[in-house]
Every structure is written in structure tokens, then in C-alpha cells.
């Protein structure tokens, strides 16, 4: 593990990404102190440019763009982490069952997985949110629905490969139960891959959430980066700051997550490690 950390530390881009993410977590943690109260509150005159009493300006209704971004960061993190967590759980379950039991179970589960993969992800997300009506919960459900197949395929592949390895065959021969084999021996050997892919999924989840909110399919009671951008779009040419700052926030966050994900992948993936 120490060598892993050292390898990660040598990757400057990944370090930079990690720094940005740490900053984001700090921002979320400090939000209640920095911007106490509701980010939807009308705190000043509308359309104040940045640099005045409101550091990042105010939006069309006179809300503080800085507060909106801070609370939006919280929403993004909550959605990114919870949707990814749920997608990993569900994808691992489906992929694990398919990869461990093989046969008709595998055929059935993998066809279902592929069915989900054939539908364009964002269209499926829109459809689900439209049916469930927009809320934080329905957004998470939609993101899970479009993210789990990737995890399921990954885990199935790992399980199939591990299933023919000597240590697994030995366990089986010694009479270990399915649960023991799966949870003690096979899953721990997939965690590296799952973490690497899961990290990237957080970025995707944040992007999907922003996209849904931008299209008016976000929870209207929860501040989100996509919501800020969609509210500023109408005045983009006269009040650039409303769209620009949350746009930058999305860009930086997703970029940072991808850099960290790549860095982790490099450290954790044995094939890349041997290079």
C-alpha cells in the first residue's frame, strides 16, 4: 500500500485533482459558516456583477451566486457519492451473481445489463426522472439506472477470471461455502478495479445531475449547479457570471475526479502497475 501511495504521489495531475477535491469537501463542510441560511434567499439586488458585496455576483432574482455554488457543491457531492455507491452495490450484485454462477443466470442477467446499456444514458435518465417526477431521490435512481451496467460487466468479468484461479478452486475443494468464497476471496480481489471505475462514475453522476437540473428536471427545492446555469442562461450575454462560475465548478470538479480516478487506476490496476 505504501508503494501505491508513493506511486500516486508521483502522479502530479492526480495530486492536483485530489487537492481540488479536498478543497471542494472543505467548501461543503464550511458552507453553513460561510453562507448561513437558505441559498434561495433573495439577499440583494438582482444581477449584481461579481466583486461587489457579493463576491461572485447575484443572479436574476438577487440571490448570491457564491452561496448557490456552495450549496450546489453539497448537492453534487451528495448525489455523486450516493448514486455511485448505490450503482456499485447493485452492479456488483448483478455482475457477481452472473460471474459466479455462470450458465443461464449469467445469460439472463447479462442480457438485462446489455439492454440497459443500449439505451442512451442521458435519455434513459430523463425518462426515469420524468416518470418519477423530479426530486433528489428520482435523480439518484436515474443515475444509478444508467451507471450500474458498467460496474456489473466489470465485476462479472473479474469473477469469471477469478473463478478459474487456483486459490478459488482450492477453496471450493476444501468445502468453503459460496458466501465465503465470494466475500473473502473473490470480492477483495475486485475492489481495486471497482474503486478505479467507481471514482470515474462520481464524475459522470455529477455531470448527469447538472444536465438534468439544467433541463428543469432537477429538484426545484434543492440548489444545484445545473439549476444555477439554467437560470442564468437567459441572461448569458448580459450577466455572464451566473453561468460561468457554476460552469467552472462543474468543469473543475469533474476534471479533478477524472484525474484522481486515472491516478487510482494506475496504482491499483496490476496490469498498468507492471509497466
Partner 1 sequence: MSRTSDVTNLSRRTVLALPLGLAAAASGARAAEPKRGGTMVMIVHPEPSTLAHYAVSAGNIPPIATQVYEGLCTYDWDQNPQPNLAKSWEVEPDGKTITFKLQDGVTFHNGKPFTSADVQYSFMEILKKYNPIAPVMLAELVAVDTPDPMTAILRLANPAPYLMKALSGRDLPILCRSVFEGTDVLQNPSANKPIGTGPFKFTSWERGQFVRLDRNETYWKPGLPYLNRIVARFIPDAATRSAAMEAGEAHFAGYSAVNYADLARMKTNPILDLTTKGYEMTPAQSVLELNGRHPQLQKKEVRQAIAYAIDRKVILKDVMFGYGLPATGPLSRKFKTAGLYTDDVRQYDVPDRLDIANKLLDEAGAPRGADGTRFALHLEVNSFGEQWLRQAEYLKQALAGVGIAVTLRSEDTATWLRRVYTNYDYDLNEPFLSQGVDPVYGLNKQFLTSQIRKGVTFVNDTFYSNPEVDRMLGEGARELDAEKRAALYKKVQQVLAEDSPMIWLIDVQYVSVSNRRLKDHTTGPLGTQQAFERAWMDK
Number of residues that bind partner 1 (CB under 8 A): 23
Out of 42, 107, 108, 170, the only residue in the binding site for partner 1 (CB under 8 A) is: 42
Out of 237, 271, 274, 275, the only residue in the binding site for partner 1 (CB under 8 A) is: 237
Q: Which stretch binds partner 1 (CB under 8 A): 55-63, 115-123, 170-178, 196-204?
A: 55-63
DSSP sequence for 57-81: -B-TTS-BHHHHHHHHHHHHHHHHH
CA dist list (Å): 210 to 32, 128, 196: 22, 15, 22
Q: Which stretch binds partner 1 (CB under 8 A): 161-169, 189-197, 235-243, 262-270?
A: 235-243
| Residue 230 found at the interface with partner 1 (CB under 8 A) | yes
Count the Cβ atoms, other than its own, within 10 Å of residue 166.
8
Q: Which is nearer to partner 1, 104 or 221 (CB)?
A: 221
The three grid cell numbers given for residue 271, joined into one nine-digit string:
496490469
Q: Which is nearer to partner 1, 8 or 122 (CB)?
A: 122
Residues 62-101 that bind partner 1 (CB under 8 A): 62
| Strands annotated E in the chain | none
Out of 5, 19, 46, 170, the only residue in the binding site for partner 1 (CB under 8 A) is: 46
> Can you give the binding site for partner 1, defined by CB under 8 A?
38, 40-42, 46, 60-62, 130, 133-134, 216-217, 220-221, 230-231, 233-238
Amino acid at each position: 500500500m505504501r508503494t501505491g501511495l508513493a506511486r500516486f504521489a508521483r502522479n502530479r495531475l492526480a495530486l492536483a485533482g485530489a487537492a481540488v477535491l479536498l478543497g471542494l469537501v472543505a467548501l461543503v463542510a464550511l458552507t453553513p459558516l460561510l453562507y448561513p441560511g437558505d441559498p434561495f434567499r433573495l439577499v440583494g439586488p438582482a444581477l449584481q456583477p461579481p466583486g461587489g458585496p457579493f463576491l461572485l455576483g447575484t443572479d436574476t432574482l438577487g440571490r448570491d451566486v457564491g452561496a448557490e455554488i456552495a450549496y450546489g457543491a453539497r448537492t453534487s457531492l451528495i448525489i455523486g457519492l450516493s448514486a455511485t455507491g448505490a450503482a456499485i452495490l447493485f452492479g456488483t450484485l448483478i455482475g457477481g451473481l452472473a460471474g459466479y454462477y455462470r450458465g443461464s443466470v449469467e445469460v439472463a442477467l447479462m442480457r438485462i445489463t446489455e439492454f440497459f446499456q443500449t439505451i442512451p444514458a442521458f435519455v434513459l435518465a430523463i425518462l426515469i426522472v420524468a416518470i418519477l417526477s423530479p426530486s433528489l431521490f428520482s435523480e439518484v435512481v436515474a443515475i444509478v439506472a444508467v451507471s450500474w451496467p458498467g460496474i456489473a460487466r466489470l465485476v462479472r468479468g473479474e469473477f469469471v477470471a477469478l473463478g478459474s484461479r487456483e486459490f478459488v478452486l482450492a477453496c471450493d475443494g476444501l468445502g468453503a461455502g459460496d458466501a465465503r468464497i465470494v466475500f473473502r476471496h473473490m470480492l477483495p480481489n475486485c475492489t481495486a478495479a471497482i474503486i478505479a471505475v467507481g471514482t470515474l462514475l462520481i464524475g459522470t453522476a455529477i455531470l448527469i445531475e447538472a444536465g438534468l437540473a439544467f433541463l428543469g428536471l432537477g429538484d426545484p427545492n434543492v440548489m444545484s449547479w445545473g439549476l444555477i446555469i439554467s437560470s442564468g442562461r437567459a441572461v448569458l450575454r448580459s450577466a455572464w457570471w451566473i453561468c460561468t462560475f457554476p460552469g467552472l465548478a462543474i468543469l473543475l470538479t469533474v476534471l479533478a475526479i477524472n484525474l484522481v480516478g486515472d491516478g487510482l487506476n494506475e496504482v491499483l490496476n496490476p496490469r498498468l502497475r507492471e509497466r
